[in-house]
Amino acid sequence: MRGTGTGRTNLASEVTASTVASQVLPATFPPVTVRPPVTRVVPLRRDTVYDQESETARMPVEIQFADGTTARTELVLNPSQLYAADVQMERAIRARETARPRQSGAV
């Protein structure tokens, strides 16, 4: 590399992407927890809560993994997601009622 006439070299031009990355990124990363695939997400038998401030509904759910482990969290729905879920659940309920065998003498 040629000098700049002052006896100093232009260090900025000598810095490569790998040099910069090695200075910015840590040499080691924290361990990553790899979970098995999710088999299903099940609503818990607890009330869904609507938060007016964030305009979200929060439904407690349990995530079930293929290895049998579980984790509890919340399904968070914004207003449009909440309305879409309501429409879809109503359809599923109607389909279930239509598919159920009629019991004689039932009121």
Mean pLDDT of 11-31: 61
Ramachandran angles phi, psi of 89, nearest 5°? -65, -40
pLDDT greater than 60 at residue 2? no
CATH class of 34-99: alpha beta
Query: What is the residue extent of each domain of the chain?
Result: 34-99
Residue, of 57 and 22, whose pLDDT is higher: 57
Q: Which of 88, 70, 74 is nearest to 43 (CA)?
A: 74
β-pairing, 56-65 vs 49-51, is antiparallel
Residue 21 pLDDT level (bands cut at 50, 70, 90): low
